[in-house]
């Protein structure tokens, strides 16, 4: 009888210790699950609307919208530029692009562009070996961690190890990124503190992002040497 009671009491003490350990571990496990979910979850950024100004004249607009589709983030970009000389159109550029992201990774990309009469049409889809891109009857595979040079995504300048995709041709850009530093600029109708980056490519770009990583300004030089600015509205 005493042995039975001893075994019973020992079992109860072990059970209490197990419950105590579980009570201590449960909050830690729950916190870890929340952190993991927060890391995987990609927030929906605020829509962006830019007017494009060249030498004091409005020459176009660039609108980027974001929406959630289940666990995916869908990004649509509509860009239109029209430069006029007197009553004639000297240059026209239009591009419509769509990006699909899951867990902060690009899983699909489509882009249609008209660069003053030269047409581009690309489609990309994530696969087991990377991002499979097709255009004009040809196809190629890009590294799985590739990031489109689509400007809204601050990781294109902060994650420098990721290859940059030219969102028009679907090929990897030969690019460098230089962090210039913080500056006060005018964006969205007010003065903001933004971090200035320089993207070195065949046609360099200067980009500014605010403290939340939101794209707020861009400056680009055209083939004719003129400078255009993306002004956040």
What does each of the 233 residues of the chain score in pLDDT, given as a tens digit? Answer: 444 434 433 554 554 554 444 444 544 444 444 444 444 466 788 999 999 999 899 999 999 999 999 999 999 999 999 999 888 899 999 999 999 999 999 999 999 999 999 999 999 999 999 999 999 889 999 999 999 999 999 999 987 778 999 988 999 999 999 999 999 999 999 999 999 999 998 889 999 999 999 999 999 988 778 899 999 99
The DSSP call for residue 43 is: P
Q: Is residue 32 located within the same domain as residue 81?
A: no
The answer to whether residues 119 and 204 belong to one domain is yes
26 and 57 assigned to the same domain: no
What residues form DSSP beta bridges with 123? 110, 134
Please tell me whether the overall predicted TM-score, pTM, comes out greater than 0.75 for this model: yes
Residue 216 contacts by C-beta under 8 Å, 6 or more apart in sequence? 185, 187, 188, 192, 194, 208, 209, 210, 232
Q: CA-to-CA distance for 83 and 196, rounded, in angstroms?
A: 27
Using DSSP's 3-state secondary structure scheme, residue 10 falls into helix
Whether 36 and 60 map to the same domain: the answer is no
What's the number of domains the chain is made of? 2
Token pair belonging to 34: 């929340």
Range of the domain at 14: 1-40
Same domain, 191 and 175: yes
Together in a domain, 5 and 113:
no
- Is the same domain home to 60 and 139? yes
Give per-residue burial for 146-162: e unless 16+ CB within 10 Å, then b. Answer: bbbbbbbbbebbeeeee
Residues 35 and 59 in one domain: no
């Amino acid at each position: 009888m005493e042995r039975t009671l001893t075994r019973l009491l020992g079992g109860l003490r072990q059970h209490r210790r197990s419950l105590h350990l579980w009570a201590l571990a449960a909050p830690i496990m729950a916190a870890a699950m929340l952190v993991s979910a927060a890391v995987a979850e990609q927030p929906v950024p605020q829509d962006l609307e830019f007017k494009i100004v060249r030498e004091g004249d409005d020459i176009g607009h660039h609108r980027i919208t974001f929406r959630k589709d289940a666990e995916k983030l869908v990004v649509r970009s509509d860009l239109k530029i029209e430069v006029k000389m007197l009553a004639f159109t000297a240059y026209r550029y239009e591009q419509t692009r769509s990006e699909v992201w899951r867990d902060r990774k690009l899983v699909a990309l489509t882009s249609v562009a008209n660069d003053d009469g030269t047409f581009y049409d690309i489609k990309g889809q994530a696969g087991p070996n990377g991002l499979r891109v097709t255009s004009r009857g040809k196809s190629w595979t890009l590294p799985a961690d590739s990031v489109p040079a689509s400007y809204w995504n601050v990781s294109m300048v902060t994650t420098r190890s990721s290859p940059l995709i030219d969102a028009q041709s679907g090929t990897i850009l030969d690019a460098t990124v230089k962090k210039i530093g913080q500056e006060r600029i005018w964006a969205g109708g007010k003065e903001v503190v933004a971090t200035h980056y320089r993207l070195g490519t065949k046609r360099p770009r200067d980009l500014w992002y605010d403290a939340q990583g939101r794209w707020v300004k861009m400056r680009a030089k055209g083939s004719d040497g003129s400078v255009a600015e993306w002004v956040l509205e």
